[in-house]
A = this chain, B = another copy of it.
């Protein structure tokens, strides 16, 4: 399986592309920039969805569903918003095909829409058009809604999961009576995302706010979580926006407060997408293939019999089924691969490549000795243990592997985070890769010049960053706090 597979050292980008395809996570479709998410990849996404959905519901949110198609005029109502998205909108102009005289199928020009419809690139406008009807009084607030949906943004350069024309995501859209409440909500959801990244994906993240130039189109503040991939590039893994009253004003959404006074409501929106799949792959996987954290692995334990002849297989299978039941009763998802179409060695490589956290092998000698061989994917360590203790041992391994992946990624993050004082140091550090903490004078001009010069962008201004006076690496102007620079996906 892992043969003719590019290593990270050789070409990180190629390694990623090959891994996503060969591990059956996704593939490119013939539709420009649109991917097919294959069953194994989708099973991981389903686990992500389930965990996030529970976290949203536990924080008081409800799911709903709004139309895929947005009238062009809605999109235009919030000026910054349309400016941000206009260049990547898929536009529906007709609603019928017909058979032409030559027998070919063509667009029926008589079925032209009076107003063009946009496939949602994000749903603020269509949702706020509904909220206008839903919100009258302070009693209707807060309104805490989430939507699981597909969106389309016409991207020029696409990569599986990381940047695709169509992607799957969730988008939260909330309305509040006060500014403070809306800010609290956007920060709360950022922490939910960070919690998910760290505790489910085993991926450490920085929490911060974006600079003005990197803000979501229509937001007053964009909070983000940023992760560091193994090639030293940053990846924005989730964003949460404080939208102020921009959309409430654009769609005229007011509420009567307790005194009956009408005021515009305050808004947030927040989202994570199938991009997280790319982040997951690039955080942990290695030259032997995928490495999945146990909490998100569709198969947590693969059991492989080593046998000669059907009789031996039967004896082994009897024992394996006991072990499998015991593991399943601990809530683990177990696959017993007794296919006779493939040899054990092929199966070992297969489950290793697919990132299955734990592999158990059992052969005739194990039966005699009452043992099994347990291999963990993260360290590739193998250990022969007593059959009696296998359930407890594997249950503990799940915890250990989850933790080890986090610690390993966090160690990498720490080792690849650099403080620099001069522009020369900065350029060298950026070239090397990693998060670079540097002083910046706070202007968009400086930010843009640095970006032009080095391809590095300001990933975020840390939420919990310490205040520290200094001078801007580029201009020498005063700065109150270091910001996080990196090259990014």
Contacts and interface: CB of A to CB of B under 8 A. Distances in A.
A219 interface: no
Interface stretch (A33-41, A203-211, A238-246, A324-332): A33-41
Contacts of A31: 67, 69-71, 117, 126
Interface string A146-175: 000110101000000000001010000000
A69 B82 contact: no
Interface stretch (A96-104, A379-387, A461-469): A96-104
A84 to B, nearest CB: 11
A150 to B, nearest CB: 6
A95 B88 contact: yes
A42 interface: yes
Contacts of A107: 72, 91, 93, 116
A9 interface: no
A418 to B, nearest CB: 39
Interface in A84-116: 86-99, 104-105, 107, 116
A65 interface: yes
A119 interface: yes
B152 A68 contact: yes
A320 interface: no
Contact of A75 (B35, B105, B117): B105
A236 to B, nearest CB: 22
A30 B127 CA distance: 11
Interface in A31-56: 31, 34-39, 42-43, 45-46
Contacts of A116: 107
A63 B88 contact: no
Contact of A92 (B38, B90, B149): B90
A270 B160 CA distance: 28
Contacts of A117: 31, 90
Contacts of A150: 68, 149-150
Contact of A90 (B66, B69, B105, B149): B69
**A interface majority secondary structure:** mixed
Contact of A68 (B43, B93, B166): B166
Given A90-B92, A91-B107, A105-B72, A82 B67 contact: no
Identical chains in the assembly: 2
A145 B30 CA distance: 19
Contacts of A89: 95-97
A170 B298 CA distance: 21
A67 B95 CA distance: 19
Contacts of A63: 39, 42-43, 46
A394 interface: no
A59 interface: no
A111 B458 CA distance: 31
Contacts of A45: 65
A178 interface: no
B91 A92 contact: yes
Residue from A30, A90, A126 with most neighbouring chain B CB atoms (10 Å): A90
A163 B50 CA distance: 29
B67 A38 contact: no
Contacts of A166: 67-69
B97 A139 contact: no
A96 B105 contact: no
A36 B65 CA distance: 6
Interface in A133-150: 133, 139, 145, 149-150
A45 B64 CA distance: 10
Given A72-B105, A107-B91, A150-B150, A39 B97 contact: no
Given A27-B133, A87-B97, A96-B154, 4 more contacts: A34-B69, A91-B94, A91-B107, A93-B93
Query: What are the nearest 8 A-B pairs in CB distance?
Result: A34-B67, A39-B62, A86-B97, A37-B65, A95-B154, A91-B94, A76-B105, A93-B93
9 contacts: A31-B70, A31-B117, A36-B66, A46-B63, A86-B105, A87-B97, A89-B95, A90-B94, A96-B154
